[in-house]
Amino acid sequence: MHTTPLSLATAAGLLALFVGTPTLAQSQVVFDNSANLLNKTPDILPTQEYGDEIFLAGRARLVTEFDFAYFASVGTTAGVSYAVRFYVNDGTDALPGAATALRPKSLLWDSGLQDINNGVNKVALTVPNILVPDHFTWTITFQGLNGTSGKQAALELADPATVGAVLAPATATEPALIGSYDDFWKKEVAADADSWTLYTLGSAPTDPKGNFFAVVKALPYDPPVQITRAGSNVVLSWPAILSGYVLEASADLKSPISWLPVATPPVNVGGINYVTNAVVPGVQFYRLHHP
């Protein structure tokens, strides 16, 4: 359960905001697909950007570290590098019909160019507290490589993930599906955001899944609620990138507190949720609550 309390005093026409004091916390593993490195790589040209959409466990969403693995055979080739990127899946739908698979679109983070080393490499990248949604796509791009001898690199496959959101429960014959589906995203045209396409690595039971070695570590995050006066109304706002939070209100904080959902639905404008409420006599307390 996550809540962000705040108090709004309106009787004297003044706005008073109170939020909980932040506490020190340690990073948590919210996605882990590192237990079973397959020592296999997909047959993808290193000139193409590709990666996996992952679904996170828990509520920690400020990413502090991202681990991944790749194989490279670059010899002494100069000027070769890679970059890792995080995207929100808020693009167009890649699947026809009722199924929904939104393409990667909005860029959250770019690692910048990093040096490539030969062989199998496990890399831990420091991420500067990047706020991510419950699921996002991470990708790799290689620079200075074309797939010919001495200019090759690819992500390392791993499966199954051991930490992540449960996407399908266990059955009598299959374990639970955790953290990632069996496909991955590949961008066909570098300049075309609508060219992201879903691929698998085969349908036979012995074929590897389209999942890559990766670990995500993140800090707990309670979204801040901002409040402003707008004439006879008050406007509350918080980041829309986080899902599952409900704005609730109470007339007092005497135990037992009666928190009730605010009836006005939030409106997303430019990645920020806004709720506009009329000023009421007395004091009104608000919080964001995640069940």
Per-residue pLDDT tens over the stretch 234-289: 999 999 998 888 999 898 888 898 999 999 999 999 889 999 988 878 888 888 98
> 226 and 276: one domain?
yes
Which CATH number fits the domain that encloses residue 258? 2.60.40
* Residue 170 domain flag: no
Lowest mean pLDDT among 10-24, 53-67, 207-221, 242-256: 10-24
**Domain-ending residue, one of 219, 241, 260:** 219
pLDDT at 107: 97
Query: What is the number of other CB atoms lying within 10 angstroms of the CB of residue 111?
Result: 18
- Judged by DSSP in three states, 43 sits in coil
What does the alpha-carbon distance between residue 195 and residue 199 come to, in Å, rounded to a whole number?
A: 12
Q: Same structural domain for residues 275 and 150?
A: no
Average pLDDT, the chain: 89
Same domain, 36 and 118: yes
User: Can you tell me the mean pLDDT for 108-130?
Assistant: 97
Token pair for 25: 């916390």
- Is residue 11 situated within a structural domain? yes
> Is 168 within a domain?
no
- Of 178, 201, 219, the residue at which a domain comes to its end is 219
Q: Is the pLDDT of residue 12 over 70?
A: no
Residue 189 inside a domain? The answer is: no
Task: Enter the tokens of residue 34.
Answer: 């590192």
Question: Pick from 170, 201, 219: which residue ends a domain?
Answer: 219
| Residues 6 or more apart whose Cβ sits within 8 Å of residue 96 | none
CATH number at residue 71: 2.60.120
Give me the pLDDT at residue 278, please: 87
Judge if 73 and 215 occupy the same domain.
yes
Contact indicator for 151, 38 with CB cutoff of 8 Å: no
- Is residue 30 classed exposed, middle or buried when 0-12, 13-18 and 19+ CB atoms within 10 A define those classes? buried
What percent of the chain is predicted at pLDDT more than 90? 71
Same domain, 252 and 278: yes
- Statement to judge: residues 13 and 65 lie in one domain: no
Owning domain of residue 248: 2-23+221-290
Q: Is the pLDDT of residue 37 over 90?
A: yes
- Assigned token pair, 140: 């790799």
56 and 10 in one domain? Answer: no
Q: Please tell me the total count of domains within the chain.
A: 2
**Residue 154 counted as domain residue:** yes
pTM as predicted: 0.86
Q: Are 154 and 36 members of one domain?
A: yes
Whether residues 18 and 65 share a domain: the answer is no
Average pLDDT over every residue of 139-154:
95
Q: How sure is the predictor about 24, in pLDDT bands with cuts at 50, 70 and 90?
A: low
Q: Which one is predicted more confidently, 2 or 247?
A: 247
- Using one digit for the tens of pLDDT, what is the confidence trace for 167-225? 999 999 999 999 999 999 999 999 999 999 999 999 898 899 999 999 999 999 888 88
Size (the chain), residues: 291
Domain assignment present for residue 184? The answer is no
Domain contains 173: no
Q: Looking at this protein, which amino acid is placed at residue 53? A: E
